[in-house]
Structure 1
């Protein structure tokens, strides 16, 4: 029975430790995410507010606000999750403190009873009489052992009380810290909520002004999409031609392949590129993703769908563009009414950098990871500095956020 109870007790202790560790791990994960979002908001304000002197288009302002609101909502959500987790931890702490107090009370009562009994029997003569009254030597020896064990037990009980008292004090200190942390999170959330309300109101005001002349803005969006599709078609053609050229000397089956025919060196490069998925550096040192990959409704006219085959990164003026991985400059596209686009080949993977101003490379150049390849173009009218970045595997686009570190 004793063994069974011991196993149950040990099992409960193990569960408690594992539960506490899981909560601590989750709290750390949430705190890291909260700090990331806070840094992102600071970065948004730094990048977007640096061009206040410029007359931004209503479309740009709405995009900026949409992004700010989205990040702010995520921050509030994560902070709420942290506060709720802290509430659970505080409740568990309080239960533990109550249990410790009860146990401490029992220990103290037992100890007090022992001390009283010990006090009554502390007289040396009574101890001597207790030993002399033994019927034989064996009994006397056992009584000496009992007196020694009783003294040791008293000492252990005293130590136990001291340990429990220290544990209780520590639990109380942890509880106070957690309550302070929770109050801090609640205060921060109130500030974030006020900022969110302000941004939503600003969004509503601009949107109501836009709705009065929605056709004009919708046509501007469609015109930008037409220009983007024109560049995308040029990129697709360059990639198709390069694939066909790589397969030209191969068999008929290979010649009709949709993928590159790779040399041993190119295969090794592609394998290396793939092994770095999710760890590639950003194509600019500082930036925020304003438009994500894939199909999405326009922030201005929800009936218009934007099909983004890459990401749009807002960055600072004169921002340098960096190759995200070692490779070769496959092509540079220059078209009327659009800024240069650079394609870099990494085996059968291609990274594309659109809307460049100055160029630092030419077709055929070998580049290394983080090597400067140019500078992002800054719109002189709006002050916007936006890099469009895409990733291809053969002739199919992939989500850049899956490749770039913490995008």
Structure 2
């Protein structure tokens, strides 16, 4: 019974440790990913700084670094809390195993003393022959045999418990070393974070001396973003209107054919089992009117959180939604801005059909339909697809443009469900 309790205890400890280990692995993977993103952003920031190019995007780069570094510090805090829990559990396990080991040794010592006092064969025979009857003698014989087996088993328990205790002590020491390393990394990141915030303040002050240049850059950027958003919205609405028109015509034609057939057969017109598209049908019903479109929509939705990035190597420097510029100007992004390498290929994140290719203030915009979902890729230097063309997942559709003024290479990526923009980051796979 005692052995079963020990086994159950060890299983519980192992299960708890395994859960923590899995969580720690996820945190470590995220910390490594953030470190890689910081290195890439820092390299690009240094290149911008070395070129002495003052721009709003330089500040965006610095802001992205600060945000990522703060997230990394939070991840390290979570890792430290995890390790504290592991250390606490390991300490409890060590104390429990040590207590069990002491008890096992005490019991084993008692058995050894008993065996020593009754080691002669004569004493064993006397113990057996002193029985009242044959049944009792048999039971005493079996007792002596089981006692020897139990003593051997206790010795194995002691050895196994000693090994478990050694493993737990090693794990405890390793956890303490990891915690120490994490705390050093955390202090380093906090110091760098403080320096970057000071640099950001100084950069804003420096750029304020070139207020005219900064405002012009901001004005040009906002003008281009507005034009891109208008074109995306118009392309999506045109596609919805065209899909509605086609669906209504098909429904009318199907109704006409059914009526003619019913009249020829002298029977009533059957009510169609599938819902037909009318003027009151929703955009979702319109965009999923055909089996192919419905399949694409379901497949696209089924890959939420696993879709490939529009570039093979990139970091999000401007997220989705409302944000404030370093000058405290409120703005809103309908997609994400991804910094990548100069000349990088831009690819479709899912199969679909190109519904629009347009020049927007010197760079290209490509819009692709995936059932009731749409993806838009803007700030392209060149394109390799045309309107009406079918594309496959990860197919190259163009190359990203580099801003001649700032030297920045960003691709703007938007994702729509019908005519509503959604956060692309929630749909893309972890980078």
Q: Decide: shared fold, TM above 0.5.
A: yes
What per-residue deviation string (whole Å, max 9, x for no partner) do you get for residues 369-395 of structure 1?
Answer: 111111111123322111111112332
1:332 aligns with 2:353: no
1:69 aligns with 2:93: no
1:185 aligns with 2:209: no
Match for residue 414 of structure 2? 390
Match for residue 152 of structure 1? 149
Inter-CA distance 88–349: structure 2 relative to 1 (3 Å threshold): closer
Match for residue 293 of structure 1? 320
Match for residue 92 of structure 1? 89
What per-residue deviation string (whole Å, max 9, x for no partner) do you get for residues 119-151 of structure 1?
Answer: 222233333444444455444433323322332
Match for residue 383 of structure 2? 359
What per-residue deviation string (whole Å, max 9, x for no partner) do you get for residues 81-123 of structure 1?
Answer: 1112111211211121112112211221222222223222223
Q: Whole-Å Cα distance in 2 between the matches of residues 10 and 153 of structure 1?
A: 17
- The correspondence for 2:426, drawn from 396, 399, 402, is 402
Equivalent position SS for 1:306: strand
Contact 2:45 2:62 in 1 (8 A): no
Match for residue 172 of structure 1? 169
Inter-CA distance 320–210: structure 2 relative to 1 (3 Å threshold): same
State how 1:104-253 maps to structure 2 within 5 Å: 104-211=101-208, 217-218=214-215, 220-248=217-245, 250=248
Q: Whole-Å Cα distance in 2 between the matches of residues 137 and 293 of structure 1?
A: 88
Q: Whole-Å Cα distance in 2 between the matches of residues 245 and 144 of structure 1?
A: 95
What per-residue deviation string (whole Å, max 9, x for no partner) do you get for residues 46-70 of structure 1?
Answer: 5544555534324122111111111
Tell me the TM-score normalised to structure 1 length.
Answer: 0.87
Tell me the TM-score normalised to structure 2 length.
Answer: 0.83
Match for residue 265 of structure 2? none
Inter-CA distance 10–145: structure 2 relative to 1 (3 Å threshold): closer
Give 1:17 shift: 5.3
Q: Relative contact order (C-alpha < 8 Å, sep 6+): which is higher?
A: 1
Q: Whole-Å Cα distance in 1 between the matches of residues 92 and 292 of structure 2?
A: 63
Match for residue 298 of structure 2? 271
Q: Whole-Å Cα distance in 2 between the matches of residues 202 and 8 of structure 1?
A: 60
Match for residue 57 of structure 1? 54
Q: Which runs of 5+ in 1 are unaligned?
A: none
Consecutive aligned runs of 4 or more in structure 1 exceeding 6 Å deviation: 5-14
Match for residue 269 of structure 2? none
Contact 1:218 1:301 in 2 (8 A): no
Q: Which runs of 5+ in 2 are unaligned?
A: 253-276
Match for residue 378 of structure 1? 402
Equivalent position SS for 1:340: strand
Give 1:206 shift: 1.1
Inter-CA distance 148–243: structure 2 relative to 1 (3 Å threshold): closer
Equivalent position SS for 2:166: helix
Match for residue 369 of structure 2? 345
Give 1:43 shift: 3.2
- Bigger shift: residues 60-69 or 256-265: 256-265
Inter-CA distance 367–152: structure 2 relative to 1 (3 Å threshold): closer
Match for residue 255 of structure 2? none
CA RMSD, aligned part only? Answer: 3.0
Q: Whole-Å Cα distance in 2 between the matches of residues 353 and 363 of structure 1?
A: 14
Match for residue 320 of structure 1? 345
1:283 aligns with 2:307: no
Q: Whole-Å Cα distance in 2 between the matches of residues 215 and 6 of structure 1?
A: 80
Contact 1:258 1:395 in 2 (8 A): no
Equivalent position SS for 1:296: strand
Contact 2:55 2:217 in 1 (8 A): no
